[in-house]
Amino acid sequence: MSTSTDLLSGVAGVLQAGGVVTWRTDGSAYLSSETGLTFKDMPPDPDRLVVLTTFGASDNPKLPLGQPQIQVRFRGTTDPRDVDDLGDSAFVLLHGLTDRVFGSCHLIQMLRVNSIPLGMDQQSRRWERSDNYALDVDYPTTANRPT
């Protein structure tokens, strides 16, 4: 697996263990009563959904240390409070998370940078929000970043 996959899978595992989402690693469909989890893509079902995506990074050129970011995008129900309940539940688990090993990566710390309301999907009338987290990560060594 790649370091991006390791980080996303690690965060997904934290959210699942904390009871925020149901994460089906086999890709099978979610029940309408579940809060699903996907990577990068936001399918039309279920209503409540968390989507994880990595983006941007500030990486040390000589040491295997970096600061990738993860977007945690939420979709709630037609009740505008629901998406905030979902996002706040994730915040409790993710903000300040320290000293975890996610696959090949050592997560030093994870902090929320911002939370952005995305409004309502006009077709389905479900509310959305995006929280962005900065991670401090100790990556595996490479030929270019050996120590």
Please state the domain count of the chain.
1
pLDDT at 57: 80
pTM for this entry: 0.95
Q: Is residue 144 part of a domain?
A: no
Instruction: List the domain range (segments joined by +) for residue 69.
Output: 3-138
Contact between 53 and 40 under an 8 Å Cβ cutoff? The reply is yes
| Residue 42 in tokens | 């936001």
Q: Are 68 and 57 contacting, i.e. CB atoms less than 8 angstroms apart? A: yes
| CATH code, domain with 120 | 3.30.2000.10
Contact (CB, 8 A) for 12 and 52: yes
Note the pLDDT tens digit of each residue in 12-28: 999 999 999 999 999 89
Q: Which residue has the tokens 């893509």?
A: 41
Q: Which pLDDT score, from 0 to 100, does residue 60 have? A: 84
- Confidence at residue 54, expressed as pLDDT on a 0 to 100 scale: 96
Q: Is residue 113 part of a domain?
A: yes
* Each residue's pLDDT tens digit, 47-92: 999 999 999 888 888 888 999 999 999 999 999 999 999 999 999 9
